[in-house]
């Protein structure tokens, strides 16, 4: 079977994971060089760690921000931006917290696991984009609660409104393209099933098979940038 072409679909969802940003130089979680190999998440990425030692958690968080700050969106992110501009309906559902889809210029993005650059008050829940990074400023001016990163840590729940919006987009799409996710982090890993149930063509982009590979009828085994270019082959306005 020849590769499907993005131009032939009306409602496309790109479902992205850490592999989407790998070619930008952002470390993945689990693969070679994965971040949790080096850091114990129980010390740095859960609410109980934050309650115990907010300063240590902030230090780790700022380290992760630093890693991403040195990276730029890659040609795959940019191809998805053009797809949003040129095709009828394109939605991104991402597990990434790096903000690279938005930095590339995409607009319709559901961030399942939050955003590295946003903070929220631990006590009153108010959110702020580009919140404080200085330790002296880490308390909410409204209620004096701690600012915490507005990302989903281990043990945290996902934001209901974001999950609902993502589910609606996925359940209504006719082309579902998963890119660079190991498909083992729940509840995000449940979402692709909605696309399959609705009869969407499901495409998996990943250099390696994943526990979810069976759900997909097309497997593009290779890096995100090159495999996205295959889906846009013959459409110059998408290839840029």
Active-site residues, by number, are 113
182 binds, among ligand NAD, Zn ion, none (CB under 5 to 8 A by kind): ligand NAD
Stretch binding ligand NAD (CB under 6 A), from 25-33, 40-48, 132-140, 160-168: 25-33
> Does 227 interact with Zn ion (rule: CB under 5 A)?
no
Among ligand NAD, Zn ion, none, what does residue 180 contact (CB within 5–8 Å per kind)? Answer: ligand NAD
How far apart are the C-alpha atoms of 32 and 182, rounded to whole Å? Answer: 13
Diameter of the chain measured on Cα atoms: 60
Q: Which does 121 bind (CB under 5 to 8 A by kind): Zn ion, ligand NAD, none?
A: Zn ion
Question: Residue 30: which residues within 8 A CB-CB, separation 6 or more?
Answer: 18, 36, 182, 184
- Identify which of residues 121 and 177 has a Cβ nearer to Zn ion in the complex: 121
Residue 136 or 160: the one with the smaller Cβ distance to ligand NAD is: 160
User: Residues 214-239, buried b or exposed e (16+ Cβ, 10 A)?
Assistant: ebbeeebeebbbebbbbbbeebeebe
Nearest to 89 by CA among 194, 9, 18, 171: 9
As given in the structure block, the two tokens for residue 68 are: 């991403």
- The verdict on 140 binding Zn ion (CB under 5 A) reads yes
Q: Which is nearer to Zn ion, 33 or 125 (CB)?
A: 125
Under the criterion CB under 5 A, does residue 143 sit at the interface with Zn ion?
yes
Q: Give the residue with the Cβ less far from Zn ion, 121 or 232.
A: 121
Residues 27-56 that bind ligand NAD (CB under 6 A): 28-31, 34
Nearest to 76 by CA among 10, 6, 23: 23
Residue 181 interacting with ligand NAD (CB under 6 A) = yes
Q: Which secondary-structure segment (H or E) carries 230?
A: helix 224-231
Q: Is residue 142 involved in binding Zn ion (CB under 5 A)?
A: yes
Q: Give dist(CA 26, CA 220) in Å, integer.
A: 21
Instruction: Say whether residue 150 binds ligand NAD (CB under 6 A).
Output: no
Quickly list H helices, 177-223.
Answer: 192-197
Query: Could you say which of ligand NAD, Zn ion, none residue 29 binds, taking C-beta under 5 to 8 angstroms by partner kind?
Result: ligand NAD
**Rule CB under 5 A: is residue 121 a binding residue for Zn ion?**
yes
Cβ-based nearer residue to ligand NAD, 123 or 230: 230
Q: Which residue has the tokens 């250099």?
A: 207
- E-assigned strands of the chain? 11-16, 89-94, 109-111, 114-121, 127-129, 147-151, 175-179, 201-205, 218-220
Residues that bind ligand NAD (CB under 6 A): 17-19, 21-23, 26, 28-31, 34, 95-98, 113, 179-182, 185, 205-208, 210, 223-224
Residues that bind Zn ion (CB under 5 A): 121, 123-124, 140, 142-143, 145
């Amino acid at each position: 079977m020849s590769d499907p072409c993005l131009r032939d679909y009306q409602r496309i969802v790109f479902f992205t994971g850490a592999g989407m940003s790998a070619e930008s130089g952002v470390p993945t979680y689990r693969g070679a060089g994965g971040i949790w190999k080096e850091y114990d998440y129980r010390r740095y990425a859960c609410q109980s760690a934050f309650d115990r030692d907010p300063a240590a958690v902030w230090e780790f968080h700022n380290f992760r921000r630093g890693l991403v700050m040195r990276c730029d969106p890659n040609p795959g992110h940019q191809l998805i931006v053009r797809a949003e501009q040129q095709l009828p309906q394109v939605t991104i559902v991402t597990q990434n917290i790096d903000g690279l889809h938005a930095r590339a210029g995409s607009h319709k993005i559901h961030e399942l696991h939050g955003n590295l650059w946003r903070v929220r008050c631990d006590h009153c829940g108010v959110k702020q984009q580009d919140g404080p990074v200085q330790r002296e400023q880490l308390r909410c001016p409204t209620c004096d609660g701690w600012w915490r990163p507005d990302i989903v840590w281990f043990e945290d729940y996902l934001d209901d409104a974001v999950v609902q919006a993502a589910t609606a987009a996925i359940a209504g799409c006719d082309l579902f393209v998963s890119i660079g996710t190991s498909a083992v982090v729940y509840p995000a890993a449940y979402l692709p099933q909605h696309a399959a149930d609705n009869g969407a063509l499901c495409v998996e982009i990943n250099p390696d098979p994943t526990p979810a590979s069976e759900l997909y009828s097309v497997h593009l085994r290779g890096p995100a940038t090159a495999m996205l270019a295959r889906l846009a082959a013959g459409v110059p306005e998408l290839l840029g």
